[in-house]
Amino acid sequence: MRHVTILGFDYAFASAITGMSDLLSSVGVTWNYIQGTPIQKEFDVCIATLDGKAVKCANGLTISTHHDIADIEKTDLLIIPTIAGDIAQTLALNQKVLPWLVKMHEQGADIVSNCTGAFLLAESGLLDHKKATTHWGFVEEFKRRYPLVDLQADQMITTDGEIFCSGGGMAWFDMALYLIERYCGYDIAKASSKSYVIDMGRGSQAVYSSIPGKRYHQDERILALQDWLDSHFNEALSVLNLSEQAKLSERTLKRRFKAATGETPIQYIQHLRIESAKKRLESSQDSVEAITHQVGYENFASFIRLFKRFTNMTPSAYRARFARNNL
């Protein structure tokens, strides 16, 4: 049996603790019970906190703990749940946890983070020069704080050696199924997914993301241009058009836009157009070809390729999944 330690801290996302605990604790139990086969529990799960205190979760739920982290000498798997409160404050309050994370890793534990729990893992230095993912809505903040991390923002799950990260929100169940498959095999992971009626194999979180505001900068010319683009993104635009609108040379515009937003002007416009297309696919009955033209593209095939590159889905598949009349 493998020993699993879930790190608890105040303002964690409750289900990232309890859900992961439920799913892992039931491996070899629930499916076996349903099928009438002998129980063979695979994971022993405990919750540990700094000083052994109960966890006061962001939703107001208080979760009892099993151990003080100082009492955990060794574990096979260590899981860091989602930070659902103020990230900077949570990091500041849990600095004493960081050496323990490093110690557990040095002693051979696999380390897992869910969603914004990756901030705490990165704070320890264990993610430096390693692949990672986090919630798509916190990508820019993560990049600013941890430039040495190879952030794979679109990925639902990343693996790098003994370090595993899952993406936003409820991606803990994707990670749980991945871990079950890793340690127990595909058949047991599939049985767990059937027991709890959850899907396996969601490889990307890109389809769930929306373009961040990218306005956390002080360049007034670029901010004004972004405001203008909000209502003109679907027009035929070139860098020359944008430079004239911003009253900057093309070269200066490219440099300042990239510095302010992290994207080229054309990449930014593509994001705006794809976001607009997603909203239209969700809420209108217009054909995909009509939406192609509405958001500023003339070539239907090029739009399909671009949409799929941003979302990992075709427009038709996206509509089938997210259209409001399908809810």
pLDDT digits (tens, 9 = 90+) for 166-183: 988 788 888 888 898 888
> Residue 40: what pLDDT?
84
In a domain? residue 214: no
Answer with the one of 167, 186, 208 that is the final residue of a domain.
208
Contact 57, 17 (CB under 8 A): yes
Domain co-membership, 143 together with 278: no
Tell me which residue range forms the domain holding 264: 220-326
Domain co-membership, 178 together with 224: no
**Residues 6+ positions from 5 with CB-CB distance below 8 Å:** 45, 46, 47, 48, 67, 72, 75, 77, 78, 79, 104, 109
In a domain? residue 213: no
Question: 159 - beta bridge partners?
Answer: 164
Domain co-membership, 170 together with 311: no
On average, the pLDDT of the chain sits at 90
Domain co-membership, 28 together with 107: yes
296/187: higher pLDDT: 296
Structurally, the chain folds into a number of domains equal to: 2
| Band of residue 185 on the pLDDT scale cut at 50, 70, 90 | confident
Alpha-carbon distance of 233 to 275, in angstroms, equals 11
In a domain? residue 34: yes
| Band of residue 30 on the pLDDT scale cut at 50, 70, 90 | confident
Alpha-carbon distance of 186 to 100, in angstroms, equals 32
Averaged pLDDT, 101-106: 96
DSSP code for 161: T
Beta strands in 51-200 (DSSP E): 55-56, 62-63, 67-68, 77-80, 110-114, 131-132, 150-151, 157-160, 163-166
In a domain? residue 247: yes
- Residue 264, domain CATH: 1.10.10.60
Strands 157-160 and 163-166: antiparallel
